[in-house]
Amino acid sequence: MARGWQGKSRGGKTGYAIFIFLIKHCGLGTAYVLLFFVSFYFIPAAPRSTVDIWHYARKVLGYGVLKSAIFIWKNYYSFGQSIIDRFAISAGLQDRFRFEFENLELMRDSVLAGDGAIVMGAHFGNWAAGEPFFKEFRAKLNLVMYDNEHADIKEVLAKNQDPDAAFKIIPVNKDNIAHIFMITEALSRGELVCFMADRYVNEEKLINGKMLGRDIRLPFGPFHIAARIHVPVIFYYAVREAHRTYSFKFVKADVPSGRRGVEDAIVEQFTVSLEHELRLHPEQWYNYYDFWNLRT
């Protein structure tokens, strides 16, 4: 699809490798300093993404011209921070950060019950920062990720990520349904299956929602699975606060009984909870395509 997301995240293999090298050999502070300048580079180097951030700031958040211009740099810097922090925490440097939790018992109880759960997040904040705590209570979490996005970084991950990482990948290919069987099998084993429920590559399977006063489209698949497989559905957000502090928030969805309108009910709860977090941390929104349908 020409105007939509193409199945790949911003940031390439070389960029990831450079920051991993700095974290290992020069420390987090040096990586953040380099990021300060790299964030300026991306403004002209990624024009389509920059335009989408500009539209998000101006038309969705309602910022003025100057504030929107500053917001572009702030958003790129925030995204870079999430990458640096992700690899630092995965490499065992979690003692460099502070962590706070809200409703962690929802996730822990689902793991201990052994019945499996569907976890829904978004390309917002830094979901992977919670890896040490998933490992702590022995959660097995399967991240459903589009194959192109996975392939772009899997080589770097393979070389640098802890082999006992809590997250495993279920790759999705647009043209087959193999991932459906992998998802079902993981849930039947009592594991967690995590969807980034804010991106799609198949325009034929969408569901409508509303967020920040805008009509949006979301992938139908995650919400359909959540509606049909009788396991708990939990929304999960990890946001970066000041002073290297991460706040982890868990919200349990109320999945109605029956077969009609269940997907819409879950979508509404998901968008309400995500909108709440977005209003608090708008710069931690990392959907670098025309998510809001604002291009003219």
pLDDT in tens, 246-282: 999 999 999 998 778 999 999 999 999 999 999 999 9
Mean pLDDT value of segment 62-91: 94
As a whole number, mean pLDDT of residues 29-49 equals 92
Amino acid, res. 128: A
Residue whose token pair is 């109320």 = 254
When pLDDT is averaged across residues 168-197 and rounded to a whole number, the result is: 86
Residue 3 has which token pair? Answer: 């105007």
Is the pLDDT at 160 greater than 60? The verdict is no
What is the value of pTM for the model shown?
0.88
Q: What percent of the chain has pLDDT over 70?
A: 86
Q: Tell me, what's the pLDDT at 17? A: 73
Q: How do 98-102 and 245-252 pair as beta strands?
A: parallel
Mean pLDDT taken over the chain: 86
Distance CA 142, CA 144 (A): 6
